[in-house]
Structure 1
């Protein structure tokens, strides 16, 4: 951790001593507005839930010819295909046009494709709708968490960012319980109704995102410093340019000025991104966090829980849809609690604890699966189900909230859109691979398909132990010092401070001056 100056220590103490968010009216308003981008992961969750749930509805499987093997694999992975395409273009678009536009466009695409799925006349049409829905969902996924991270007050930033990805379980819960409620319907609406109801949340986001302020960091990077200042004053200072607001603005400007990264499609961009040791380290952490989130073990139940339940004797429509619905509620509660625990515990410690716990439960799961297939004892099947819930607990404790929060806080303002697009691209490529091959592996070699994951989790644990850095208790700009030259950022901060002080003097930004002018008008 970089050496803290007395001024930094004073500001950090001011941040810690800041009033709770619910006692600041403008901060309450900001967080209510942020509900729109915070709900972004619901689209992914809703679709994953339906991917699971629809496989348990006879009317859906009858309508589309009971897909299996690679056909079913592409169905499960189709959203990731759209996500891969989106992540190739989303980073530059988010950095050029701002965070809000991509959130709105992506939400509109999700709503439109949900309608297309509802009235699909072939399996290819339904799967094609999922591909485009994935494109829209990941346009949002690249933009929304960046906007949230850059708007949240420093005191609540980690909690708010960690809460972001828990909304995936809101989508999973809604989707799974809807499919559980509709599977008894004696018509095509047993699968059409869940698809149609998927429209509601993205339609709300499409409109409401425009009431959310733009990211102050993006505004500063575009030379719109005064707009950024007004947003910080209004929401973080509750209408007053206090020391925390002044410090935030100074650090944002310093971070942008000190960052030599060029975010364009050019050789210079590649050189500044990969030529710096600090940037290579950032990219390493982003890539491993992305890959780990999709391979640590939770992917098996994310899209193919019915296949796993078939292997342990739980084959009825009611059992599979009910277990799918219950596990999503369990996961959401765990992830929600984790979002409030993570700011108080080291990020690296959470990563290690979660990955170790996941691997232990997964090993037990593998052994119990083999024994159940050999003996067909009901108790062993129940044991597998218990391990599914236990493994989910360890996965969502860390890999759901931190797959968003950790990459976002390790990169700079200039890099945040593009680096996070790279992170989401890696997530989609990895998710496509795991979701495509999983049904093939489970169908052909059964429980033995779990063995490579057990070995992989050990490798992942070693990577985390030896390379992941601790970022707890630091601002976004302070984290940059872990990777970059501290002198560059310090010099930029000094220069930014002088420039801001001159602007305050020239444009009468002092609070006392504003109060005096108000008093004069009242007396007049």
Structure 2
């Protein structure tokens, strides 16, 4: 069985033909404003990354360890895992908030809860209070983390959607950069403010969202799903066509979204069982659940949350040296993650995932060998080589898994299932994180470097899975990805209905969309090798 077929490159999708190739987005004031609103949403991921790296940094502060009686073992595991336990607690509610209240109000609710958690964390007087505050932070993040990436994906200008939505998760590393340098800067403060200041800084992204998100645009797709078509069209026109509601691109987007959502509702693509009801949805969930676990069970959790214990296994015990390595690693990771996000439409999702996973396997295996060499023979050169391989491994991981797991999950889910499907993804990520963060310190303490061998075997399995099951989706609108998973007939019908609706309403859909047979059949064949897709 070969890998899934990729779209042919013979020509671009419809929406590309509706965009002036000479027009620059940065010269359009409204597109600049739209991207500033999207930046406000992107900092949700930054806040999440800040927390992970902050916990790394706090474990290197004697002031923090002294204040909480040197936590270790299961208590240290709970401190690392409790935020994700909080996120798990929000999952039963977040999809209903996203679909019922809307993306904006859900973000506001989550940001408000996170502000409260950051205040309590900063004021903590005991380890129990600190753990409770981190649960609250995770609970609020569960709402923000559900709604923000969906709003980014559903609001972005079409040519920018894939890179921008991919950069969303890549900015997790941006938060790690900030946290690493903040904890490094407070390292020499001789009192509890050395860890209270980083805790207080965690509230900054949430404060910005609480005050600004009410003024941001709502998702046009959510508005259409609530029969608020006029508002949706106005937002699409204002940000994507400088206010021109008759612009061909705006009309193409509007009718394609409206027709696709109507089709999903007719096909009863709603409810939790719908996630597994059809072969196409089962393919989606197989991929989504797999990449969620892969993103956390690839050895990266050791570096993200327990880097200090990794340092101990290779003889690097100087706290300042540990903090500097951690801070520089965060900068390196954010650079690679953003690069991977920007390449997703040029290189394609599937090649990036394959290259990323292969690199992870090679460099983590070499890291394991060098760690074992140091542990068995105290070879200092091998210990230093581990640091180099950590950087190379982080580059391989960051090329695909940092930027693509969220954007890829959202783009392969149809609108009516997007919130629920993304909740399943978040549950899988949080469950794998809770397991990792609780088990990793215990396993490292018990078998030290030999624990790395488990990850080497697992990453090899990941590579096989990615080769056989990951499907390419590059250069398509959100609605057109249905072609790959649900078959050509589904998208044929959507395009026919959209074209017919546009003609009846006198909308200026371009010439190639006016011929419904061409839109419904020839286009489909040109976009994808349909006979190969059915074998996925």
CA deviation profile, 1:203-249 (whole Å, cap 9, x unmatched): 00112112221111111111111111111111111122211111111
Question: Partners in 1 of 2:319 and 2:495 — Cα distance?
Answer: 61
Does the C-alpha gap of structure 1 residues 333 and 8 become closer, same or farther in structure 2, counting only changes over 3 Å?
Answer: closer
- The one of 245, 262, 268 equivalent to 2:250 is 245
Contact 1:262 1:273 in 2 (8 A): no
1:108 maps to what in 2? 112
1:424 maps to what in 2? 426
1:216 maps to what in 2? 220
> Displacement of 1:16 after TM fit?
7.5
For residue 205 of structure 2, give the secondary structure of its aligned residue in structure 1: helix
- Mapping of 1:427-466 within 5 angstroms? 427-466=429-468
1:134 maps to what in 2? 138
Does the C-alpha gap of structure 1 residues 358 and 307 become closer, same or farther in structure 2, counting only changes over 3 Å?
Answer: same
- Mapping of 1:115-264 within 5 angstroms? 115-240=119-244, 241-260=246-265, 262=268
> Displacement of 1:500 after TM fit?
4.4
2:520 maps to what in 1? none
| Large movers: runs of 4+ above 6 Å | 1-4
> Displacement of 1:174 after TM fit?
1.3
Does the C-alpha gap of structure 1 residues 7 and 55 become closer, same or farther in structure 2, counting only changes over 3 Å?
Answer: closer
Contact 2:165 2:407 in 1 (8 A): yes
Contact 1:253 1:493 in 2 (8 A): no
- The one of 11, 20, 31 equivalent to 2:24 is 20
Question: Partners in 1 of 2:14 and 2:268 — Cα distance?
Answer: 33
Contact 1:93 1:102 in 2 (8 A): yes
For structure 1, the 5+ residue unaligned runs are: 511-524
> Displacement of 1:3 after TM fit?
9.2
Does the C-alpha gap of structure 1 residues 18 and 280 become closer, same or farther in structure 2, counting only changes over 3 Å?
Answer: farther
Question: Partners in 1 of 2:7 and 2:491 — Cα distance?
Answer: 13
> Displacement of 1:435 after TM fit?
1.1
1:519 maps to what in 2? none
Contact 1:2 1:482 in 2 (8 A): no
For structure 2, the 5+ residue unaligned runs are: 510-536
Structure 1 stretch 298-307 or stretch 240-249: which is displaced more?
A: 240-249
Contact 1:263 1:418 in 2 (8 A): no
Contact 2:483 2:490 in 1 (8 A): no
Please give the root-mean-square deviation of Cα atoms over the aligned residues, in Å. Answer: 2.1
Contact 1:108 1:206 in 2 (8 A): yes
Contact 1:296 1:355 in 2 (8 A): no
Contact 1:154 1:475 in 2 (8 A): yes
Question: What TM-score, normalized to structure 1?
Answer: 0.92
- Mapping of 1:324-335 within 5 angstroms? 324-335=326-337
Structure 1 stretch 120-129 or stretch 496-505: which is displaced more?
A: 496-505
Structure 1 stretch 216-225 or stretch 364-373: which is displaced more?
A: 216-225
Question: Partners in 2 of 1:87 and 1:420 — Cα distance?
Answer: 10
> Displacement of 1:313 after TM fit?
1.1
- The one of 454, 462, 486 equivalent to 1:484 is 486
Is 2:90 aligned against 1:89? no
Is 2:380 aligned against 1:378? yes
Does the C-alpha gap of structure 1 residues 11 and 330 become closer, same or farther in structure 2, counting only changes over 3 Å?
Answer: closer
Question: Partners in 2 of 1:9 and 1:471 — Cα distance?
Answer: 12
Contact 1:182 1:191 in 2 (8 A): yes
Question: Partners in 2 of 1:16 and 1:86 — Cα distance?
Answer: 43
- Mapping of 1:491-510 within 5 angstroms? 491-503=493-505
Does the C-alpha gap of structure 1 residues 497 and 120 become closer, same or farther in structure 2, counting only changes over 3 Å?
Answer: same
Question: Partners in 2 of 1:229 and 1:324 — Cα distance?
Answer: 46
2:286 maps to what in 1? 284
CA deviation profile, 1:420-459 (whole Å, cap 9, x unmatched): 1111111000011011100001111001101111111111
Structure 1 stretch 444-453 or stretch 194-203: which is displaced more?
A: 194-203
> Displacement of 1:297 after TM fit?
2.2
Does the C-alpha gap of structure 1 residues 15 and 293 become closer, same or farther in structure 2, counting only changes over 3 Å?
Answer: farther
CA deviation profile, 1:337-396 (whole Å, cap 9, x unmatched): 222122200211110100010010000000100100112122111101111111111111
2:470 maps to what in 1? 468
> Displacement of 1:8 after TM fit?
8.1
For residue 258 of structure 2, give the secondary structure of its aligned residue in structure 1: helix
2:64 maps to what in 1? 60
Contact 1:33 1:211 in 2 (8 A): no
